[in-house]
Amino acid sequence: MSTSGHLVRSGRHVVDTWLAEHQVDLVQWRRHIHANPELSRTEFATTEFVAAWLTKAGLAPRVLPGGTGLICDIGPDGPRIGLRADMDALPLQEFTGLPFSSTVPGVAHACGHDAHTAILLGAALALADADLPVGVRFIFQPAEEVMPGGAIDVVAAGAMQGVERIFALHCDPRLEVGRVGIRVGAITSAADTVELVLDSPGGHTSRPHLTSDLVYAIGTVITGLPGMLSRRIDPRTSTVMVWGAVSAGKAPNAIPQTGMLTGTVRTGDHATWELLEPLVREIVDALLAPTGVRYQLNYKRGVPPVVNDERSTRIFEAAIGELGPGALADTPQSGGGEDFSWYLEEVPGAMARLGVWSGQGEQLDLHQPTFDIDERALAVGVRVLTDIVLRAGR
């Protein structure tokens, strides 16, 4: 038996033993975090909870600047594999009716970050006593739910120093528990925000020629910007611009003086993401120039797309395959954003989608107040992440 093969088999036995002894703990951790959600950059208690369990296991977690989020290293010195989980909740009221529902009014773990944190904590403790072929850095990240994301702060704090490749899981309610989806290339999209503030002298609707018709100008941009983007950008990049809010005026016979448009522009192509802001500005200026309406365009860049590199994807696929036949699933690119992409600006890596649907009943989407997971997915997540580490010596 090769040395690497021995390490893998020995490590899997350690993980199996840990899961057999701590399955209840894994579920309780998730439920504790779920019942005590914290918004972005206020995850102080969650950070303390994770740090306490890591310290109890003899590990040495390091809390990040600001007091939220932490990192913890195990295994031999040298280049490390990074494993990341996000910790924050959403400003949303929970309506699951679960006995461990959120105890914080207006705040809920409706995106699965409670599960992500419990899984990564489980992976760290399961591997703590294993003979590892490579060092691992566990990154418990705050503030994923706000743009441009807490990952930027984590990187700035030096968490990626010495990390040569990074991996993460995200709950997917469209996949049945026991299955994990992954793809080479973009798995999420860049997500930017466009805010357009317009003003004109205003006037009477019977005399639009004596003023600048602000509502007409807004309508021109509402239809013109998405339309022009669809003609200026390769449709294969999955770029889409959608308005979410519009406001202007109150009286039917008065041309208003001010108005506002807000929306998002998303793309699955990194190169296109770099070009979007100047292109949006060019088109808006061309559309509004004939109207005489003044404007201010606030373009807020969000996150780049998560683009899985091929080698990291193959490592993930092999780890998923160890779960058994049929565990590996294909998955489409999402139009949503994920700040895991900022780590991939530093090193190669991949994100996979962890099935959390029970296989029965409604498939509740992320960010819904009734979202919940099948908790059998927690052990699946631990097995996949730990197997990535164990097979690193191959």
Kindly report, residue by residue over 136-182, the tens digit of the pLDDT. Answer: 999 999 999 998 999 999 999 999 999 999 999 999 999 999 999 99
Question: Cα(326)–Cα(319) distance, rounded to whole angstroms?
Answer: 13
Q: What is the DSSP letter of 186?
A: E
This prediction has a pTM of 0.93
* Same-domain pairing of 180 and 33: yes
Residue 394 has pLDDT above 80, yes or no: no
* Same-domain pairing of 30 and 90: yes
* Same-domain pairing of 117 and 102: yes
Domain boundary among 303, 331, 350: 303
* Same-domain pairing of 341 and 281: no
* Same-domain pairing of 78 and 90: yes
Q: Mind giving me the DSSP string for 54-114?
A: HHHTT---EEPTTSS-EEEEESSSSSEEEEEEE---BS-------TT--SSTT-B--SSHH
Count H helices and E strands in the chain, helices first: 9, 16
Residue 273 has pLDDT above 70, yes or no: yes
Q: What is the CATH number of the domain that holds 205?
A: 3.30.70.360
Tell me, what's the pLDDT at 3? 59
Domain boundary among 273, 303, 333: 303
* Same-domain pairing of 235 and 163: no
Q: How many domains would you assign to the chain?
A: 2
* Same-domain pairing of 249 and 236: yes
Q: What percent of the chain has pLDDT over 90?
A: 94
* Same-domain pairing of 311 and 368: yes
Residue 7 has pLDDT above 90, yes or no: no
Q: What percent of the chain has pLDDT over 70?
A: 98
How does the average pLDDT of the chain come out, rounded? 96
Domain boundary among 259, 280, 303: 303
Tell me, what's the pLDDT at 362? 87
* Same-domain pairing of 151 and 129: yes
Q: What is the pLDDT of residues 72-99, one digit of tens each?
A: 999 999 999 999 999 999 999 999 999 9
* Same-domain pairing of 313 and 278: no
Tell me, what's the pLDDT at 5? 73
Tell me, what's the pLDDT at 4? 65
* Same-domain pairing of 275 and 324: no
Element (H, E) at 326: none
Residue 307 has pLDDT above 50, yes or no: yes
The boundaries of the domain holding residue 372 are 3-188+306-393
Q: What share of the chain is helix, strand, coil (3-state, %, to 5)?
A: 35, 25, 40
Strand-pairing partners, residue 243, are 263
Q: Mean pLDDT across the stretch 231-257?
A: 97
* Same-domain pairing of 23 and 96: yes
- Least confidently predicted of 5-14, 257-266, 303-312: 5-14
Q: What is the DSSP letter of 222?
A: H
Question: Cα(253)–Cα(204) distance, rounded to whole angstroms?
Answer: 6
Q: What is the pLDDT of residues 54-69, one digit of tens each?
A: 999 999 999 999 999 9
Residue 1 has pLDDT above 60, yes or no: no
Question: Cα(64)–Cα(62) distance, rounded to whole angstroms?
Answer: 6
Q: What is the CATH number of the domain that holds 147?
A: 3.40.630.10
Could you tell me whether strands 163-176 and 349-357 are parallel, antiparallel, or unpaired per DSSP bridges? parallel
